[in-house]
Amino acid sequence: MTRFLWQVTKTSNLLTSAGVTHLTSFASGFYPEPNSIDFQFIFAHASVEDNVTIYMFILLSFLFYFLGMAWATLQDKKDLESVSDLGALMALKNNV
């Protein structure tokens, strides 16, 4: 190996570990500041006429979410009914 890269002693056939001496603080010491959001500008230009696609997407997303939740609830109720019917059938079969 080189002086910048070396093999760590806890290396096995399944796992290879290596140590390096360069760029170690590159990812851990660099925190970029997030961009600021101008909410006054956003709310001033949030008309439905100019953003029909966005509002329709949000509306349809909520609609499909709640329809999916209603469908899942109905399927859960059917599941519980079939399991309780199966339990009653098993009890009759075992003469309980």
Q: Check if the beta carbon of residue 19 is closer than 8 Å to that of residue 8.
A: yes
Confidence (pTM): 0.48
* Rounded Cα–Cα distance for residues 11 and 8 (Å): 6
Domain ranges of the chain: 5-93
The answer to whether the Cα torsion of 12, 16, 22, 25 is positive or negative is: negative
Q: pLDDT tens digit string along 46-62?
A: 888 888 999 999 999 99
CA dist., res. 37 & res. 82, Å (int):
53
Taking only the tens place, the pLDDT of each residue in 60-71 is 999 999 999 999
Whole-number Å distance between alpha carbons of 46 and 44: 6
